[in-house]
Chains A and B, each alone.
Chain A
C-alpha cells in the first residue's frame, strides 16, 4: 500500500505545548494503522464543532465536516445513516459537546448510533479566552467567574453511561500510547463510543501536575460489567481529589440505531412517477 499523506499544508495555530497535538498525532497514527489494515481513507469522515479542538480537521487531509458550536453530533449521526460503511469520528470540546450541544450527545448515546466522539476536555474555554465549562472544578476563576465558578462540574462519563453509551474511555493528552489504543478500540467498537481526553490547556488551565499525581491505568478490569463501570466512573467526580482511572471504562455490544433503522430498508421504486400516480389515484 502506498504511504499516505495525512497532514495538510495548513499552518498549525495551537499554542506550543497544547494538549491538542497529542490528540492530533494519536488520531493520525490510528488512521494510518487502520488504513494499512484495509480501511479506505475516503470512507472516513471527521466532524468537529467550534473551539480550539475543532481546528484538528484543518490539519488532517481526510473528508471533514467543520460544523458550528455544539453541533458535532447530529451531522455525524446523519453521515453514518446516509452510508453505514463510513467511519465517522467526531471531535468536540467540553464547552462544545458537554455545554452547548449536550442534548445531542445524550440522544446519540441513547440511540447507540455507531459513531465515535473524542472530547478534548481541557475544562476551560480556550478560543474565547478562559471561561469555566461544564467540567471546570468548583471555584474555577475564569473571565466570566472572577469570584470562582459557583457550580459543581458534572461527570460526563456518568452522564453518558446513564444515557446508553456502549463504549466509554478516558485518556490524557500526555499519554499518547494509551490514546492511540483507546482511539482505535473506540473507532472499531460497533455502537456509540466516547473518549474523554483530559487535555492540558497550557494557557488557561494547566492541570498537568494535578493529573500526573492522580492518574492510573486500569488493569485486570472487566469493562463489560455495568455496575463495576458505574462505580469506577464515579471514583473521580471531576472535582474531588480521588484517583483518576484511565483506559476503557465500559464496553458492551448492543444493537445500534442504524441496525434497527436500516433493517428492511426498501430499494427505490423503479418508476417513481408511477408510484406517485398510484398514490394520486388512491386519493380520489
Chain B
C-alpha cells in the first residue's frame, strides 16, 4: 500500500491522544512514515476528540480528509467521520456504544463486556480496540505488545491482556504489509523544540501553562534530571520571562514558552531584554485569536506581533520552523544567536507544529553545535556595555572576580549606569541596532534561511511558512509547483528570498490567518504575491482541501 490513514475518535478523556501515539508507533515500526493530526476541544471530559494517523512510503507532514479506517469509541465519531471513509464499511466500533444502520457494516467489538471479564477499568477501552485494530490490519499481535510496553508503563500486563481480547474478537479487514524501510523516531514539534534548546545549551526553562506550548513545559520537566535543567512554573508569564532574564544574567541559558496571550504579558520584558542585552529564547505557539480565541486549535496570526512587540527599536531573531527537524535545528540556532548577539529570539510555532507528530531524522538536520558566547578577557575594569564594532559586548558573570556586572532597563553608559545624556543615548541606540547588520550577514552566509522545494523550474511558486511546509511540499511535488519557505523571518533574508522567487511568474501564498501576514511582510521588502490561500477556522489544511484551492486559482 502506498499510503493509508486511520481516524480514531471518542470523547475527551477516552485516551484518544495516547491511542494515536500507540497506533503511530505501531505503524512506524512497519517502516512507514507517519504524521499525526490531533483535533481536540478545550475541555477535560466529554466533547469530541479525534486524531488522524496518516502513513505513507514517502515523507509526509500533512493529513488527508479521506481515511481508510475509522475507529469509533462513540456514536458521534461514526456520525461525524463516516463520510471520510474511502470504503464505506471499513470501521471498527464499540458495539455497546455505537449503533450502525446496516447490520453487516463495520466490525463491532463489545468493549465493555471484554473489559468486565478481565476486571479492567473503562479507560482501557482504547487498548482493547487497538488490539482489535491490529488484527483488522492483518498484523501479528506481538508487534503491539512491545509498543504497549513503551507507551503504557502502568498496568502493562492488564493492558496487554485487554488488547489480546480485542485482537481475538476481531478479524482481518485489510492487509497492511511491513516495508523494508528504516523506522525513524516519532516526535512532536514541541519535543523537537525542547531537544533543540537542550542541544543549544539550555539550563533553565520557565513557563506558565498555555496551549499549545504547555507540552514543552511538561516534557522538559519530565526529562529535567537527564540534563540537569531547572524547570519552573511560576505565578504568571510576567514572572516567567523575568525569571528567565535573571538566569541569563547569571550566565545560564534560558528559554520560555507561551502562546499569544502569555506573550502579551511578556512584551514589556522582551523590550527590557533588548535594552539590557540579556539573551532570551521565546517559544511563541500560535493559536486562533483575538484574545482567548480557540485555545486548542491552530493559526499563524502572530508574525507581525512577534516582529513588532515591545516598545523601542531593537534587534530580534525570529524563526518559523516547519517540521520536527527544523524545530530541533532552529531552536538550537535560536539559542546560539541569542547568546552570540545578546538579543531576544522568537521561535514561532503553532498548534499544528507543536502537537503534530512527525518522523524525526537527525541525520537530515545538518551540522549543529552549541556556541560559546564572547566572554570578557578578565582585564579590569569590566564594562558590561563596552562599545564594539559589531555592538556585542563581552560577557562576564556574577561571582567573576574583579567584574562588576550591572545590567539596566534605563538607557545606560558602558558600565551599565543610568544616563540621559543625548550623545550617550545615541551611541547606545546605535550599538543596539548595529548588531542587525552582522546578524543578517551571519544568517545569509551560514544558513539556509529560505528553503526551496518542489519543481524548481516551475514558473508558479507556492509560498508558505511554518507548519504549512509539509503540505506545500507534497502538493508542490504533485502539481509541479516551486515551493518557497522562508524559515528566518527577521532579520528578513532578502538576498536568499530574491534568489528563491527569481524567474517566477506567479506567487501563491498559503497561510493560516485571515490577512496574509507573510504576504504583508515580503511586500515591505518589495515582493508581491498574486494570490492568497488563507484558512482561519483553526483547523489545519488537509491535502484535498488545499489541492482544490490551488487548482481553483491555477484554472
Contacts and interface: CB of A to CB of B under 8 A. Distances in A.
B272 A67 contact: yes
A79 B249 contact: yes
B416 A64 contact: yes
B417 A272 contact: no
Interface in A52-66: 55, 57-58, 61-66
Contact of B242 (A55, A75, A275, A283): A75
A276 interface: yes
Contacts of A15: none
B360 interface: yes
A103 B236 contact: yes
Interface of B: 25, 28-29, 150, 183-187, 191, 195, 198-199, 204, 206, 223, 225-228, 230, 232, 234-236, 238-240, 242-247, 249-252, 268-269, 272, 276, 360, 362, 398-410, 412, 416-418
Contacts of A176: none
A115 B236 CA distance: 19
Interface of A: 8, 10, 40, 42-43, 45, 50, 55, 57-58, 61-68, 71, 73-79, 81-83, 85-86, 103-104, 106-107, 261, 265-269, 272-273, 275-277, 279-284
A63 B226 CA distance: 32
A8 B418 CA distance: 12
B272 A68 contact: yes
Contacts of A281: 185
Contacts of B238: 71, 74, 103-104
Nearest to B368: A273
Contact of B230 (A40, A58, A81): A81
A82 B269 contact: no
A62 B407 CA distance: 11
B398 A42 contact: yes
A103 to B, nearest CB: 5
Nearest to B407: A65
Given A71-B238, A283-B185, A86 B228 contact: no
21 contacts: A8-B417, A61-B404, A62-B404, A66-B412, A68-B268, A74-B238, A75-B243, A75-B246, A77-B234, A78-B204, A78-B247, A78-B249, A79-B250, A86-B399, A106-B235, A107-B234, A107-B239, A272-B199, A273-B199, A279-B223, A283-B185
Nearest to A265: B228
User: Which of A8, A67, A74, A81 has the most chain B CB atoms closer than 10 A to its own CB?
Assistant: A74
Given A58-B417, A74-B242, A83-B399, A272 B249 contact: no
A219 B506 CA distance: 85
A65 to B, nearest CB: 6
Contacts of B199: 272-273, 276
A264 to B, nearest CB: 8
Contacts of A45: 398
B34 to A, nearest CB: 11
Contact of B185 (A10, A82, A284): A284
User: Which of B206, B362, B417 has the most chain A CB atoms closer than 10 A to its own CB?
Assistant: B417
A43 B235 contact: no
Contact of A43 (B184, B244, B398): B398
A267 B228 CA distance: 6
Contacts of A67: 242, 272, 409
B242 A57 contact: no
A85 to B, nearest CB: 8
User: Which of B29, B195, B226 has the most chain A CB atoms closer than 10 A to its own CB?
Assistant: B226
Contact of B235 (A86, A107, A273, A275): A107
A189 B195 CA distance: 39
B243 A66 contact: no
Contacts of B406: 57, 63-64, 66
Contact of B187 (A63, A64, A74, A283): A283
B409 A42 contact: no
A66 B250 contact: no
Contact of B186 (A50, A74, A284): A284
A78 B185 contact: no
B228 A63 contact: no
